[in-house]
Structure formats: structure tokens, C-alpha cells
Amino acid sequence: MDRAADRSDGPPARPGQPLDRLPWLLRWAVVASLCLLVLTAGAYVLAWIAVKLAPLTIALAATLFLAGLLDPVASRLRRRRFPPALAALTTVLLLLGVLVGALVLVWRLSATQFSDLARQLDQGLNRTRDFLVSALPVTPDQLDEWTRRLIAGIRRSAPDPVTGAATVAEAAAAVLLVLVLLFFLLKDGRPMWRWILNRVPERARSIAADAGRAGWRTLGAYTRGTMMIAAIDAVGIGLALVLLRVPLALPLAVITFLGGFVPIIGATVAGSIAVLVALAAKGPVTALLVLAAVIAVQQTEGNLLEPLIMRRQVCLHPVVVLLTVTAGTLLGGIVGAFVAVPIASVVYNVVNTVAMHRRSRR
């Protein structure tokens, strides 16, 4: 009996590593914390490099977004037997024509309103001042002092002419760089991707190809879907501003369109600007009507149109979207707010594709 018991007990256990003596929950916490530290350090280094190379980073981001948006146009032209270079050039010229035409249209329809806006804003600000004095425990002198301080701060923060000229030159160079990069990406994007795949080990090549296609589809779908949703917001709010005869309705609609590319926060800021202009130019009743129109359009877009248009291309919870936009704003300002959600969406779909491949191989 004793010998059988000795044989069943087996050889004596060897002393394990120090981590093996810890509870499993503590071991898991240690490993997870180390992985989180490594990922955070890597993300911080990448963000630091991106900020240091801000003009190049912005140009690359804009090029990728525009390429994802315009790639179906270039592909359709190539299917119609256009040479790759001619298809890419035609697509870029089409983009320039749309942008220049939109800017000229906005200027021509709004230039005559700027002269009247100064008078309307002056009257509206006086009405707003009287309302604040009567509704809040402040005196007219205190309100005037706060206004003078705000104007002085804005003037101090305004760039000097030399800095402004340098900024304009940098912006022009960045636009030219984006157009050149966009042309070559539309022309040679697929050969570039095949060249990259040929450098990947053969056993991982299929996974890299599927992950790359998933990321590119996500970027294109996000850009096109966001542009459609932003256009719907701009048309709805712009129509309300026109019906209520709010000045500068078209520029405010353009601001709403651009704000639509920053999820949650952008639409809120654009709507607030429209309400403030209506309050200053037309009074509180018109401002309340504009606020109601903004809320109605955004609720319709968020609850009905966005799920229908975006579908499953961007599988991020609104809480994740809000945290991502906040982190992007803290790291990169306005540009970070624009690119945070598409980057997170692409990364999520790429990681999900790789995980699905690994599960299918088990």
C-alpha cells in the first residue's frame, strides 16, 4: 500500500519560478500591466514623432483619406481603359474642380451679406448685452470690462504679419504635397501594396493581405460615410438657417459640413456657432428655433441615417468614439480630433481580421 501510494504521488515537485508562486490574478495583472506599459510607450513615441513632423503627418493623413474617398472613381476610370496615370490625373483634377467651385460659390453667395452682418451683429450683441444684464447679477460696467479683456486677449493671440505669411506659405506647400502624393497613390497604390506584401514572410502573407484590405475598406467606407452624413447635416441645418433668414447661412452650412468629420464633438460645436450667430443677428426667438432645428437634424442623423449609412464598417461604441476623439484632441489638437476615430476604426478592423485568421487555423 505504501509503495503504491508513493508511486501514485509521483516525483517531488520542483520549486517554480518566483511568478509561479503568486496568485493567478496577480500574475495576470503583472503581465497585463507590462503589456499596457509597452503599448503606451510605443504609442507615445509614435505620437511624439508625428507631432515633430506635423506638416508631413497632416499631409499623409489627408492623402490617405482622399485616396480612400477617390479610389472608386480612379478604379472606375481604369475599368474604362484609362491608363493609370490618366485616371489618377483626372481624379485629382475632378477633386480640384469640386473644391474650387464650392469655394467660389460660397464666396459669391455670401460676400454681399458681410456688410449687413456687421450692423446686425452690433444690434444683436446690444440685445444680448441687455438680456445678460437683466438676467444675471452683473452690471453693465463689469460686462464691458470682460468684453474689453476678451478682445485684448484675441488681439494678443493674433499672429503678426510675418508669421501669418509663413503659415500661408506652409499651407500652400502642404496642399501641393497632398496633391502630388494623392496622384502617385492613385496611380501606383496597388503596385506599392504588392511590393510590400512580397517582403512579408510567405506564411504570414495571406493574413497581411486580408488585414490590409480590411483596413483600406474601413478607411474608404468611413470617409465616404462620414462625408455623406456631414453633407446631410449641412443641408438640413443650412436649409433651416435660410428659412429663418439667418445671415451667412451658407458659410455656417460649410462649417457644419466640416464639423461632421469630428464625431460627436464637431456637430455640437458647429451647431453652437449657428445658434450664436442667430442669437446675435436675429435675437433669442430665432436662436431657439435654430437650436431646435439643429437638435432635430442631429437626432435624425444619429439615430436613423448614421446606422443605415455606416452599417458595420466602424464597429466602435459611442463611448469609445468619445474617448478616442478626446485623446486625439489632447495629442494633436484639431487635426488629432479629425484623424483619431478613423485610425481607431482601421486598427480595430485590422486586429479583428488577424484574430479571425488565427482562430480559423486552430
pLDDT of residue 117: 59
pLDDT of residue 8: 46
How many angstroms separate the CA atoms of 37 and 25, rounded? 18
pLDDT of residue 312: 55
CA 74 to mean position of chain CA atoms: 24
Transcribe 138-165 into DSSP letters. --HHHHHHHHHHHHHHHHHHSPPHHHHH
pLDDT of residue 20: 65
How many angstroms separate the CA atoms of 141 and 146, rounded? 9
How many angstroms separate the CA atoms of 345 and 68, rounded? 14
Does 307 fall in a domain?
yes
Q: Reduced to 3 DSSP states, what percent helix, strand and coil does the chain have, rounded to the nearest 5?
A: 90, 0, 10
Q: Is residue 351 within 8 Å of 208, Cβ to Cβ?
A: no
Does 15 fall in a domain?
no
Does 259 fall in a domain?
yes
How many angstroms separate the CA atoms of 344 and 323, rounded? 11
How buried is residue 68: exposed, middle or buried, by Cβ count under 10 Å (0-12/13-18/19+)?
Answer: buried
Mean pLDDT of the chain: 78
pLDDT digits (tens, 9 = 90+) for 52-110: 887 788 888 889 888 988 888 999 999 998 899 999 999 999 999 988 888 887 777 76
Handedness of CA 354, 356, 359, 360 (dihedral sign): negative
Does 112 fall in a domain?
no
Does 283 fall in a domain?
yes
Does 338 fall in a domain?
yes
Helix (H) or strand (E) holding 354: helix 318-361
The string over 298-308, giving b where at least 16 C-beta atoms fall within 10 Å of a residue's C-beta and e elsewhere, is beebbeebbee
Handedness of CA 314, 316, 322, 323 (dihedral sign): negative
Domain limits for position 250: 204-362
pLDDT digits (tens, 9 = 90+) for 189-210: 888 988 988 888 888 888 888 8
Question: Could you say which residues of the chain have pLDDT below 50?
Answer: 1-2, 4-8, 10, 13, 158-159, 161-162, 164
How many angstroms separate the CA atoms of 229 and 235, rounded? 10
Closest CA to 329 of 267, 253, 255, 266: 266
Q: Is residue 246 within 8 Å of 278, Cβ to Cβ?
A: yes
Does 50 fall in a domain?
no
Q: Is residue 167 within 8 Å of 55, Cβ to Cβ?
A: no
Domain count, the chain: 1
Does 95 fall in a domain?
no
The residue to which cell 490590409 is assigned:
212
Q: Give 247-312 as a 3 state SS string.
A: CCHHHHHHHHHHHCCCCCHHHHHHHHHHHHHHHHHHCHHHHHHHHHHHHHHHHHHHHHHHHHHHCC
The string over 239-275, giving b where at least 16 C-beta atoms fall within 10 Å of a residue's C-beta and e elsewhere, is ebbeebebbbbbbbbbbbbebbbbbeebbeebbeebb
